[in-house]
């Protein structure tokens, strides 16, 4: 079987680390995430605000650096075919833990913790947000006190998914043993104060507000980190976050400054600076494939509640897409930080499909014609289309964010021009992106017709990301509303492509399958790519060691951050 050795070469590319000050000598590091974390367990979220907050404490076997290259973290090195870590038949990968590795409580990290984490995530009732990363894993076994072998049900040419990246860190079995299955969301102490291996441990956690971290005394690098404490403050909005880092200097790092270019330009010249990186991130519209009618009660927005009255006809979604002028949104609201997006995976180039590149061109006439064909006409002359006594009236929700509210307003007007009525709603980002199964306002619950936010693959291979749209990943009450198939898309041909991608061994085949999956998703019109975004954040001019990362956690190398002399 032909395999893609470029992945191996990339995996072994390490960049020189920046020298840091003595451990704990730089005082407090102040970070602002305007989307506040509601848990410290990334398996209950999958969203950046929780995944990145947890990354200071919980670590994987390996993660992706700022170039998308795979670098070892808890593992001694990256297993490859060449070094014998990946079996010749591609059905096994063996990771060797670093020697002397301990949890923050002083107990040893063992292969049993890796085995437990796999079982924890793949439990049918857990609703694990990282489930697609364990796709194809048949068994995880301990070979000795440091080696853990992951066995796949069939050859897996890209084996770097399970227990890799900030989305799939190791959990301590001793701490989480009673928090499996249906109990995963009930273990408040464990989910907010996890015992980890990272440079910090949680001192105080206030959900949707602030997290205080102190040094992990067991951290494996004696001279790191330079900051004795870290405070991650949550809440606010991108504009207030930008002011805090760029103008007033209240914080050292501010995440995700999703602002229009004119507003961002007005804030430069102070004690902070804007940092950017290329990114695979895309701002999407998700069209609910299930019925969100409140009258359905517990079946609302579930497969059991039935199909959406409009969106299961792809012509309706296609019409909504054609009505949008992506170029206007990109130019007015993103500037140099965004371009019209027509692909689910816009980069790397191997996986970027241009089949639907014409989505960047608005066509209101064609949009209106498609709605006519689908039977949605304005029978009573009130300007709103209807069919079988039902108005084409949509609830469109997103997180509270100036750029997103401006995008909503533009889209609402374009949809009005083709006879679609739209009610706009924005929800506090900490709630919208939270994982509280009791909240009606989360993106997972999706109690609306349309919602908008950004998502992207981790690392250079999108197998796990595209696997998110498996039928098994649809959120429901049975999974505590966890799962990353947010729009409830389910397709037998797509499931077949997921299986084919899992065993594809050549770059040519992987690119072909990945692009086919992209096209099938786009042609379902259950997901509408809008803008391919760059990543923009801000940091204090005195903060050094930051290596902006769009492929993993932005704060992935926080142990190397330090204050300039």
Locus of tokens 């499909």: 353
Q: Is 335 left (phi over 0), alpha (psi -120 to 50) or beta?
A: left
Locus of tokens 């250079």: 460
Nearest to 390 by CA among 417, 366, 413, 420: 420
Locus of tokens 């330009």: 265
Distance CA 114, CA 395 (A): 42
Q: What is the pTM of this model?
A: 0.85
CB atoms within 10 A of CB 63: 27
Distance CA 351, CA 514 (A): 6
**Each residue's pLDDT expressed in tens, for the chain with a length of 565 residues:** 444 333 333 333 333 334 446 899 999 999 999 989 999 999 998 888 999 999 999 999 999 999 889 999 999 999 999 999 999 999 999 999 999 999 999 999 999 999 999 999 999 888 898 999 999 999 999 999 999 999 999 999 999 999 999 999 999 999 999 999 989 988 999 999 999 999 999 999 999 999 999 999 999 999 999 999 999 999 888 999 999 999 999 999 999 999 988 899 899 899 999 999 888 899 999 999 999 999 999 999 999 999 999 999 999 999 999 999 999 999 999 998 899 999 999 999 999 999 999 999 999 999 999 999 999 999 999 999 999 999 999 999 999 989 999 999 999 999 999 999 999 999 998 889 887 888 999 999 999 999 999 998 888 899 999 999 999 999 999 888 988 999 999 999 999 999 999 999 899 999 999 999 999 999 999 999 999 998 899 999 999 999 999 899 999 999 999 999 8
Nearest to 486 by CA among 460, 520, 455: 455
Kindly compute the dihedral angle of the four CA atoms of residues 191, 200, 214, 16, in this order, to the nearest 10 degrees: -150
Radius of gyration of the chain (CA): 23
Nearest to 281 by CA among 7, 94, 26, 531: 531
**Sign of torsion over alpha carbons 510, 511, 515, 521:** positive
Cα–Cα distance list, 539 to 56, 260, 330, 403, 485 (Å): 18, 18, 24, 21, 33
Cα Dmax for the chain:
75
253-254 and 147-152 strand pairing: unpaired
Polymer length of the chain: 565
Local structure of residue 108 (DSSP, 8 states):
B
């Amino acid at each position: 079987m032909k395999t893609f050795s470029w992945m191996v070469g990339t995996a072994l590319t390490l960049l020189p680390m920046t020298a840091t000050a003595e451990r704990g000598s730089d005082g407090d590091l102040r970070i602002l995430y305007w989307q506040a974390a509601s848990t410290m367990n990334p398996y209950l979220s999958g969203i950046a605000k929780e995944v990145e907050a947890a990354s200071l404490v919980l670590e994987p076997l390996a993660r992706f650096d700022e170039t998308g290259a795979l670098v070892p973290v808890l593992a001694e090195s990256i297993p490859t075919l060449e070094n014998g870590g990946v079996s010749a038949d591609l059905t096994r990968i063996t990771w060797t833990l670093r020697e002397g590795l301990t949890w923050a409580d002083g107990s040893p990290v063992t292969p049993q913790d890796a085995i437990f984490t796999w079982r924890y995530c793949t439990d049918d009732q857990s609703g694990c947000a990282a489930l697609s990363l364990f796709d194809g894993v048949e068994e995880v076994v301990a070979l000795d006190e440091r080696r853990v072998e992951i066995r796949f049900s069939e050859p897996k040419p890209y084996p770097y998914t399970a227990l890799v990246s900030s989305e799939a860190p190791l959990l301590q079995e001793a701490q989480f043993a009673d928090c499996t299955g249906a109990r995963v969301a009930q273990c408040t102490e464990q989910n907010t104060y996890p015992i980890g291996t990272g440079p910090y441990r949680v001192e105080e956690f206030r959900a949707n507000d602030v997290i205080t971290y102190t040094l992990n005394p067991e951290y494996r690098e004696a001279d790191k980190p330079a900051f004795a404490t870290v405070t991650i403050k949550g809440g606010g909005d991108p504009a207030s976050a930008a002011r805090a880092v760029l103008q007033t200097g209240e914080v050292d790092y501010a995440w995700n400054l999703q602002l229009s270019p004119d507003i961002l330009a007005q804030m430069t010249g102070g004690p902070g600076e804007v940092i950017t990186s290329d990114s695979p991130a895309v701002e999407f519209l998700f069209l609910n494939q299930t019925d969100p009618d409140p009258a359905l009660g517990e079946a609302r927005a579930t497969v059991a509640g039935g199909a959406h009255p409009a969106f299961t006809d792809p012509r309706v979604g296609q019409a909504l897409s054609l009505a949008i002028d992506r170029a206007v949104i990109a130019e007015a609201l993103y500037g140099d930080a965004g371009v019209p997006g027509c692909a689910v995976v816009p980069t790397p180039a191997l996986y970027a499909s241009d089949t639907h590149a014409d989505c960047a061109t608005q066509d209101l006439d064609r949009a209106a014609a498609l709605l006519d064909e689908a039977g949605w006409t304005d029978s009573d002359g009130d300007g709103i289309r209807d069919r079988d006594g039902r108005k084409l009236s949509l609830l469109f929700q997103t997180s509270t964010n100036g750029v997103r509210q401006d995008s909503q307003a533009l889209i609402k007007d374009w949809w009005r021009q083709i006879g679609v009525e739209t009610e706009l709603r924005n929800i506090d980002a900490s709630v919208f992106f939270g994982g509280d199964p009791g909240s009606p306002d989360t993106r997972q619950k999706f109690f609306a017709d349309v919602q908008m936010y950004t998502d992207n693959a981790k690392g250079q291979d999108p197998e796990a990301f595209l696997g998110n749209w498996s039928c098994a990943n649809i959120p429901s009450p049975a999974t505590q509303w966890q799962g990353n198939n947010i729009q409830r898309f389910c397709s037998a041909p797509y499931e077949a492509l997921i299986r084919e991608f899992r065993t594809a061994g050549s770059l040519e085949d992987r690119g072909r399958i990945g692009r086919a999956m992209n096209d099938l998703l786009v042609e379902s019109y259950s997901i509408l790519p809008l803008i391919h975004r760059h990543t923009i954040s801000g940091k204090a001019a005195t903060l050094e060691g930051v290596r902006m990362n769009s492929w993993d956690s932005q704060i992935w190398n926080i142990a190397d951050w330090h204050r300039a002399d």
